[in-house]
Structure 1
Amino acid sequence: MSLNIRTRRFGKTGICLFFVSALMTAGAGHAQQTDTSKWQPGKGEFIVPAGPGGALDTAARMISHLLQTKNLYPNLVVVNNPGGNMAIALNALDKHKGDGNYVMTSVSSLMNQEILGKIQHKLSDYTEIATLFDEYVAVAVRADSPYKNIHDLIAKFKASPGTLNVGVATSIGNHIHVGIASPLKKAGVDISKMTVVPYKSSSESMTALQGGHLDVVAATTPNLIGLLKSGAIRVLAIGAPDRLSSPFENVPTWVEEGIDVVPSSAQGVLGPKDMPKEQLDVWVDMLATIAATEEWKAFLAKNHWREHYLGPEDTRQYRAREYKQIRTVLTDLGLVKK
């Protein structure tokens, strides 16, 4: 009935023009939808190469939380895959080649394990999505330690480098080990002769320090805050470019002490091998968005981490420079196979 009315009112020519116009409008709408559409994340996993509660897990859960609350990635869960010098987590990521619904924490220690030959994976084979922040390694002793400052400790290491027990978590040759060895090497210590004891976590190494089983502990800042505030430990130096806020405001950096080294460790997000560009672009946009939020900035400040946002290409270049520096230190430690 409606068509007959239009026929009488507009005639055959009008009908043709009407349908042509309708088709063009529909086609334009479809083209516009195609041009502006992006890859839409589905049900995803954020793989963490460590157990719950540590720095890697804490950061991953905050990233997942912000992505969900900002409605950027509503269905992303954190999955802990510790062990195997991070190989277990990488194996889990390898099951999802080319699938951006699966990502993992990108951390400097992955290169340490690669250089040491403890894993058969190469970080450069994966898709670097972004660098998000730097964490810093500090050197701590008990409050009653005879070493009042970092130069006292350096003098002892130079005189007899193997007599002090140094605790690190979680493995020999990781970023925490490098975080203390790198500046000590610069200061003239024979780091290959140091006695380094690995612990399962920094909480365990800090307990051992308080119990008198260790003389020195190297650990990242979140693990030291409570004991420093209580007066149980003294932090002698920190590997940051400049001083951190309370409770570290009185702790000098290595650079301040005349040792020009900033042995930071960067965290970010790593994608699987052969991740399509359209998926990478969406991830870059999502991470850039949450990195600009006040919630993220407050989270970094609380943990005494420093914002260090880099996109994919800058991250690859940054990791390449890190790789060379890490390899040099691990070689000097006598840990790299010839």
Structure 2
Amino acid sequence: MPRGRLPKPHNDIRFYSFSSMPGLSRLDAMSDPGGPCRRIPSRGVRMQSRFVISLSLLLSAWLPGAAALAAEQGWKPEGKIEYIVPSGPGAALDMAARRLGHILEIRKLAPAVVVTNKPGGSNAIALNVLQQNAGNPHYLTTLGSTLLTGRANGTLDVTYSDFTPIAVLLDEFVTVAVRADSPIKTGRDLIEALRRDPQSLSIGVASSLGNHIHIGIARPLKLGGVDIGRLTVVPFKSSAESLNALLGGHLDVVSSSTPNVVAHIKSGRIRVLAVDAPQRLEGTLAVAPTWKEQGIDVVGLSSQGVLAPKGITPRQRDYWVEALREATRTPEWQEFLQTNQLREHFLPPDQAVAYLDRQYAEIRAVLKDLRLVGD
């Protein structure tokens, strides 16, 4: 496959914002005193004109929040923002994107945010949308670790430098869980079972082999002496699906990020054996020991950010950098991080790229151990 070309997108699952209002793109022309509304003799048309102007005023309600940024950056978004999520509905990436989109709307940093799910292909399907809309700042996607792993294992011919990195927003942690009735009680129990027979337990990951979720369980197992190249690993489209398979008795173990397990911990249906956080998390995840607590010195490599198409202007990029910085300072975003036990980590473009470069080098080393890449 030539570099920079991706497969045609499919699996388009679209969810429209409550603030999307088709047809409003013509309001400026319709309400312009010098336009078609100037010579209107009939009462019915005058009422229509007043209605149109009222709608125009309602639409402009988002402008105060964007006005300050626009004054600084010299640009502001007009019309809906297409936010492409490279995972299925209900997955961790999807939850973060929907919360972020909601905040951008209510804080008047974007007029409307439409979230579209395009899972599969190690982000290739989602990235294809950005490639088709090069230079258009009204398209964004999640910059997740799967993009790094996809590039490292050769399933992607593009990487973040082929687009416009806007920011890293957060670090996420990967949990390893079993059903509540499993005989495996701790991370050490899991390691011992897999050291004896690496193929004895089925492990679910989402959404592709060699991604950050797969790496999130492989790294501690390798440090524990497991031959991780012989593991039985089953990929799913989302962690929501892999956890459902675990609960249904179709898997023995699931590796997933923290947002996906919160509800299942509360219900008492799963046991989290370990989490790759640097210290024990709070809230619902406080019951989950870290790998470090169990003698395995490992901390996660996963992050989430935002990526825009190649070819947007510096002013457009800078608008989104500051809009996202403002959004991540809100109580709504902080509450989301706290609930899902995610770590705030805002990095603007240059720092984000340096951080991703370091992650990429470490990820590639692990993939060699998984025998998913060559030397």
Report if TM-score (shorter chain) is over 0.5: yes
Does residue 282 (structure 1) correspond to residue 333 (structure 2)? The answer is no
Helix, strand or coil at the partner of 1:179: helix
**1:191 equivalent in structure 2:** 228
Does residue 75 (structure 1) correspond to residue 94 (structure 2)? The answer is no
Distance in 2 separating the partners of 1:105 and 1:263: 18
AA in 1 matched with 2:235: P
The equivalences for 1:27-42 within 5 A come to 38-42=74-78
AA in 2 matched with 1:146: P
Does residue 140 (structure 1) correspond to residue 177 (structure 2)? The answer is yes
The equivalences for 1:13-162 within 5 A come to 38-43=74-79, 44-162=81-199
Distance in 1 separating the partners of 2:342 and 2:242: 21
Distance in 2 separating the partners of 1:102 and 1:225: 30
AA in 2 matched with 1:41: P
Q: What's the TM-score once normalised by structure 1's chain length?
A: 0.85
Does residue 335 (structure 1) correspond to residue 364 (structure 2)? The answer is no
Q: 1:268 to 1:193 in 2, by over 3 A?
A: same
* Displacement of 1:210: 2.7
Report sequence identity in percent.
51
AA in 1 matched with 2:190: L
AA in 1 matched with 2:168: T
**2:352 equivalent in structure 1:** 315
AA in 2 matched with 1:159: R
Helix, strand or coil at the partner of 1:188: coil
Contact 2:91 2:240 in 1 (8 A): no
**1:180 equivalent in structure 2:** 217
> Number of residues paired by the alignment?
305
Unmatched tracts of structure 1, length 5 or more: 1-33
The alignment yields a C-alpha RMSD, in angstroms, of 1.8
Instruction: Write out the 4+ residue segments of structure 1 that deviate beyond 3 Å after TM superposition.
Output: 34-37
* Displacement of 1:212: 2.8
**2:285 equivalent in structure 1:** 248
Helix, strand or coil at the partner of 2:193: helix
Helix, strand or coil at the partner of 2:286: coil
Helix, strand or coil at the partner of 2:352: helix
* Displacement of 1:263: 1.7
* Displacement of 1:94: 0.9
**2:28 equivalent in structure 1:** none
Helix, strand or coil at the partner of 1:151: helix
Helix, strand or coil at the partner of 1:113: helix
Unmatched tracts of structure 2, length 5 or more: 1-69
AA in 1 matched with 2:186: N
Distance in 2 separating the partners of 1:219 and 1:337: 26
Helix, strand or coil at the partner of 2:141: strand
Contact 1:137 1:264 in 2 (8 A): no
Give the greater-gyration-radius structure (CA).
1
* Displacement of 1:110: 0.7
AA in 2 matched with 1:42: E
Distance in 2 separating the partners of 1:279 and 1:249: 41
AA in 1 matched with 2:309: P
